[in-house]
Amino acid sequence: MDSKTPSGERIAKTIARAGLASRRDAEKMILAGRVRVNGAVITSPALNVTQKDQIKVDGTLLKEPDHARLWLYHKPSGLVTSDRDEKGRRTIYDEMPKDLPRVMSVGRLDLNSEGLLLLTNDGAIKRQLELPATGWLRRYRVRINGRPSEDSFAPLRAGLRIGAERFQPMSVTLDRQQGANAWLTIGLREGKNREIRRAIEAIGLQVNRLIRVSFGPFQLGTLKLGEVEEVRRKVMRDQLGLAPVSDEKPKAKKPQRRHR
């Protein structure tokens, strides 16, 4: 019996590296019978492939993977962070520059939230950055209705429990009162669905604007609403601990914006 590990890499990883989907979503595609290898439909991700294999997803030949890339995107409010929406609402992909390659979002910002969203063409990087173990601090500028005091946010700083769900402690700074609203800066290391909005509601207040200003070392800075800016390879490599790319050449890219 041959005990050697089969050559190549797992089919789901190959699909993810090609920027078509995350590894987990690629596995779902395979289980749904949407992937063919050398003309035959496969229904199990337990398959290794090499460059000699022909892979098709939904009838389209899988392209050679590009080197890993990362972009900063200033998401406007009112867009869904998804490639399609069952309610027919506009998505972030409807507003992307036409010359942008196929990308995936790292995590999400909900419909009414805005600010920094990371995009990548590499499923492995997407998964790496979304893992709770990564633990990167995400900072938000948050406007709430009401006149809170510093003591109002003690439950958030201690770690809030809503039903059976426990939120990790958040850093909360009360920046200023502006009429009937107050501005806060909130930092957290989790990415639960609508976490800040739900936590603020739990202490009797209401969020009426939420802007993500940073995700780990990556900053929104002066990036304008709707603009996309690529992170330089060296910066991405240093921050994510990636191996150098042999043909790497420093190149500054101007922010891109979709013109309506």
Question: Which residues are designated catalytic?
Answer: 110
3-state class percentages of the chain: helix first, strand second, coil last, to nearest 5: 20, 30, 50
- Contact (Cβ atoms closer than 8 angstroms) between residue 237 and residue 125: no
Q: What is the DSSP string of 228-241?
A: EEEPPHHHHHHHHT
Q: How many DSSP H helices and E strands does the chain contain?
A: 6, 18
- Report the alpha-carbon distance of residue 84 to residue 90 in Å, rounded: 8
Closest listed residue to residue 162, CA positions, set 217, 199, 135: 199
As a whole number of angstroms, the distance between CA 234 and CA 254 comes to: 16
Regarding beta strands 114-120 and 206-215, do their DSSP bridges make them parallel or antiparallel, or are they unpaired? parallel
